[in-house]
């Protein structure tokens, strides 16, 4: 079965705004027990997400770590990385990168985050078309 793809269009125009929204989605997935992977373009962005997940909400705890080829010991730890999600962590993919995730058909749900930045929107349109070419009709949510 193909994944459910949701595009979230944020009104802000900042990387931090996208990361904060990604934290909220990751927290929800973590609480539901989903194995979640946050795909980033580079290690700096992964480290920023790592820091944000510690601080985005005062009383929140989301087990997370940067993925560097070793799977976490806690079952539904959110992992953050720049490469393809490891097989057990493909259920929920939060895409903060500008590229279409590799082997995205293996995921159950993909959450795409865009903001008002024109470069982000252009990359998002390209990914939207790539999903359509695979027979997936993404849902779009304007936040």
Mean pLDDT of 59-75: 87
Band (pLDDT 50/70/90 cuts) for residue 73 is: confident
What pLDDT sits at residue 61? Answer: 86
Lay out the sheet containing 139-142: strands in order across.
64-66, 78-81, 36-39, 92-95, 109-114, 4-9, 139-142
pTM above 0.85, yes or no: yes
Domains detected in the chain? 12-88 (3.40.50.10110)
pLDDT tier at 22, thresholds 50, 70, 90: very high
When pLDDT is cut at 50, 70 and 90, the band that residue 78 belongs to is very high
pLDDT at residue number 63:
92
The C-alpha atoms of residue 79 and residue 93 are separated, in whole angstroms, by 10
């Amino acid at each position: 079965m193909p994944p459910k793809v949701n595009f979230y269009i944020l009104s802000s125009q900042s990387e931090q705004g996208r990361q904060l929204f990604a934290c909220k989605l990751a927290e929800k997935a973590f609480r539901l027990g989903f194995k979640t992977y946050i795909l980033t373009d580079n290690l700096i962005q992964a480290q920023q997400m790592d820091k944000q997940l510690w601080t985005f909400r005062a009383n929140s705890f989301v087990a997370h770590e940067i993925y560097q080829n070793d799977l976490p010991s806690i079952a539904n730890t959110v992992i953050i990385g720049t490469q393809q999600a490891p097989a057990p962590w493909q259920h929920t993919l939060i895409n903060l990168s500008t590229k279409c995730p590799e082997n995205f058909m293996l995921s159950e749900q993909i959450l795409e985050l865009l903001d008002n930045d024109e470069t982000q929107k252009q990359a998002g349109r390209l990914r939207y078309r790539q999903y359509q070419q695979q027979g997936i009709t993404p849902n779009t949510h304007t936040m």
